[in-house]
Amino acid sequence: MNIIIAGCGKIGTAVISALVSEGHNVTAMDKSLGVIDELTNIYDIMGVCGNCADCETLEEAMIGSCDIFVAATGTDEVNMLSCYIARSMGAKHTVARIRDPEYNDRSLSFMSQTLELSMALNPELLLAQDLHNLIKIPSAFKVEYFSKRNLEMIEVRLKSDSDLVGKKLSRIRGKEKEEFLIGAVLRGDNLYIPDGNFELQAGDLICIFASPADMQKLLKSLNMLKKAVKDVMIIGGSKTAFYLSKILATTGTNVKIVEKDRAVCEKLSESLPHTTIIHGDGSHHDTLMEEGLNSIDAFVALTGIDEENILTSLFAEEFNVPRVVAKINNNELTKMAEKLGLGGVISTKSVTADILTRYARAVENSMGSNIETLYKFMDGKAEALEFRVNADSEVVGTPIKDLKISRGILIAGIIKPGNKASIVTGNDIIEAGDKVIVLASGKRLSDLDDILR
């Protein structure tokens, strides 16, 4: 497909990388000629330098043949205007990055309808939602949900003292009462879709599927469930910090934000009446100690500087804070942080790239794709997809054990109408109207029937 990305900062560049890897024809658009030159040198893409809200610039990018136009500049109003113009000039689908809390809280639905936006994206809000999921399950590296939270997927790193180390999956499944599935294991750089004879080792990153209720019971049974989070400290008064604080306030969690810019502190104090705002430098260890670092349940570093987030998070881990998460957008720094033992790392750009990858696949499928959810996991080596089952699908009516499923594909769960989720067995039969969770490694899926060989 022909896709134009306007605004090639960190978010836009991550989206370009993801879409190029999917095989799409991508055009990068940015006001900076240096940015365009750098991107066209790295990726096999077209580049247009100019204002994305300018008709002549859009014509140069061949907007009339554009399947998806994504406006990801740093200004919400420019993104909305450029999407409106792009749509008027022939773009089939438009996606705008809209970050301002006022738009998202009040008038986003109205504006999306009026401007005929196909999708409005708020990366900071999406990141805040992911952070909330991580904070709820402190032992998890990643937490994702399918089908309105009826099925849960988490990544957990096995420590040497874990009860699972040295045990085969068949033995673990037989011992535990809960319904769950260990669907993937990352050991070093090798990804495994394991069978019952697979034996877990210390250091393995494992992916577990279960309903939220069974997941809580399972983690408690395996001594992986730490105490509930009551007190959270956030470093950096960013938009993500704002959204995360609002989400946590609804659960009765005590939140404290440390921000060194007084003007930002004053603004946050007005908009977050139930959050404690501290004017101070979160990179100073004395400040963190004075604000109770050694008595909190979760520490989240959300400044705009990756290195600062890493260092303050490592300091928090020295005081055994149960859950520590750092926002890191630089891939190389992410790898370094993980080698240093930092347990929780999250990235705004990866969350956004996942969503646009899913959307592009949905648009690409001329039959009307049945992809409802898509997540990258296991360090990007695998995907978890949620498909809506159409009546004409080749998998309908056949027991799963009799389906000729491609190598590297695993059907993990089924959600029946009425939102009843279950982990699959070989005797289960997929029916029209079901939702199916599929794990895929080494194969790009756009439709549920792509799982068959």
Same domain, 207 and 313: no
Asked if residue 134 is part of any domain, the answer here is yes
Picking from 104, 102, 97, 49, the residue whose alpha carbon sits closest to that of residue 73 is 97
Picking from 80, 123, 152, the residue whose alpha carbon sits closest to that of residue 356 is 123
Strand positions, DSSP E, 45-135? 46-49, 68-71, 93-97, 119-121
Asked if residue 116 is part of any domain, the answer here is yes
The DSSP 8-state label assigned to residue 106 in this structure reads I
**At 203, is the secondary structure helix, strand, or coil?**
coil
- C-alpha 321/C-alpha 297 separation (Å) is 6
Same domain, 160 and 109: no
CATH number of the structural domain spanning residue 105: 3.40.50.720
Asked if residue 17 is part of any domain, the answer here is yes
Strand positions, DSSP E, 177-275? 180-187, 190-192, 205-210, 231-235, 254-259
Q: Return the pLDDT at 355.
A: 86
Same domain, 260 and 317: yes
Residue where a domain stops, chosen among 57, 87, 121: 121
**At 317, is the secondary structure helix, strand, or coil?**
helix
Q: Which two tokens stand for residue 414?
A: 């089924």
Q: Return the pLDDT at 262.
A: 96
Q: Which helix (H) or strand (E) is 28 found in, with range?
A: strand 25-30
Same domain, 70 and 153: no
Dihedral sign, Cα of residue 13, residue 14, residue 15, residue 17 = positive
CATH number of the structural domain spanning residue 183: 3.30.70.1450
- C-alpha 228/C-alpha 297 separation (Å) is 8
Asked if residue 362 is part of any domain, the answer here is no
Task: Tell me how far CA of residue 332 lies from CA of 306, 328, 336, 337, in angstroms.
Answer: 11, 9, 6, 9
Asked if residue 351 is part of any domain, the answer here is no
Angle at 263 between CA 262 and CA 269, to 5 degrees: 85
| pTM as predicted | 0.83
Asked if residue 11 is part of any domain, the answer here is yes
Q: Return the pLDDT at 344.
A: 82
Q: Return the pLDDT at 368.
A: 44
Task: Give per-residue burial for 152-173: e unless 16+ CB within 10 Å, then b.
Answer: bbbbbbbeeebebeeeebeebe
Bridge partners (DSSP) listed for residue 415: 421, 435
- C-alpha 58/C-alpha 38 separation (Å) is 20
Q: Return the pLDDT at 107.
A: 66
Picking from 354, 350, 398, 402, the residue whose alpha carbon sits closest to that of residue 375 is 354
- C-alpha 61/C-alpha 247 separation (Å) is 40
- C-alpha 210/C-alpha 200 separation (Å) is 19
Same domain, 111 and 140: no
Task: Give per-residue burial for 222-259: e unless 16+ CB within 10 Å, then b.
Answer: bebbeeebeebbbbbbbbbbbbbbbbbeeeebbbbbbb
Same domain, 236 and 296: yes
Q: Which helix (H) or strand (E) is 373 found in, with range?
A: strand 371-377
The range of the structural domain enclosing residue 272 comes to 231-346
Q: Return the pLDDT at 109.
A: 74
- C-alpha 357/C-alpha 349 separation (Å) is 12
Same domain, 341 and 235: yes
Same domain, 428 and 443: yes
Same domain, 107 and 7: yes
Q: Between 239-249 and 262-271, two packed helices, what is the crossing angle to 10 degrees?
A: 30
Same domain, 30 and 98: yes
Same domain, 313 and 375: no
Residue where a domain stops, chosen among 221, 245, 278: 221
Picking from 410, 414, 405, 409, the residue whose alpha carbon sits closest to that of residue 434 is 414
Residue length of the chain: 453
For the chain, how many structural domains are there in total?
A: 4
Return averaged pLDDT per consecutive 10 residues of the chain, 453 residues in all.
95 93 95 96 96 96 96 94 96 92 70 84 90 86 84 90 89 87 92 92 92 88 80 95 94 94 95 94 94 94 94 92 90 81 82 86 63 84 90 92 93 87 91 93 87 89
Segment 44-72, tens digit of pLDDT: 999 999 999 999 999 999 999 999 999 99
Same domain, 432 and 411: yes
Asked if residue 251 is part of any domain, the answer here is yes
Residue where a domain stops, chosen among 121, 148, 178: 121
Rg, C-alpha atoms of the chain: 23
- C-alpha 372/C-alpha 386 separation (Å) is 5
Asked if residue 102 is part of any domain, the answer here is yes
Q: Return the pLDDT at 161.
A: 84
Q: Between 239-249 and 123-136, two packed helices, what is the crossing angle to 10 degrees?
A: 50
- Residue 43's φ and ψ, nearest 5 degrees, are -115, 155
Q: CB–CB of 100/77 below 8 Å?
A: no
**What does DSSP say about strands 344-346 and 382-388: parallel, antiparallel, or unpaired?**
unpaired
